[in-house]
Amino acid sequence: HVWNRRPAQALESVRHAAATGNASGVGVMSVLAMMSAVRNIIRVGGLGPGASDADVARELGIPPWKVSSLRQQWSRWSGDQRRLAASLVDLADAEALMKGGLEPGQALDVEQKLFELEKLVVSTGGQ
């Protein structure tokens, strides 16, 4: 939902995952999933509109059913490529925060990770 620019739905998904799954892993796993998704969006955008879905899927090593969704997401972000690039930096910072905490030797607890993830989802998807 973040890359569809629907932060409210993205927040709902994050909170649902935290409530129903392994809340301690939500932060890192969610950030890594967001990083993978944004990389794929950028890769699809870099190939241009002329290639078939099958060609794009083969080139990027992704399932063919995913190409259409990635192209739609690219169309939402293609006019805002600086923000999309900045989101990669934000995601890298968030990954370090989720893994290492606020201070050296101090890890974030589950609630702090969830709070940081929610801030990231709102700032990224709401742009």
Chain mean pLDDT for the chain: 84
- From the options 1.10.230, 1.20.272, 2.60.120, 1.10.3470, give the CATH code of 2-125: 1.20.272
Share of the chain above pLDDT 90, in %: 20
Question: Domain ranges in the chain?
Answer: 2-125
Average pLDDT over residues 88-108: 81
**What number is the average pLDDT over the span 80-104?**
83
Q: What is the mean pLDDT of residues 82-89?
A: 88
pLDDT value, residue 108? 80
Tens digit of pLDDT for each residue in 21-72?
766 667 888 889 889 999 999 999 888 788 899 999 999 999 999 999 999 9
d(CA 110, CA 29): 13
Higher-pLDDT residue of 64 and 1 is 64
pTM, 2 dp: 0.81
Distance CA 41, CA 5 (A): 13
Res 101: pLDDT: 65
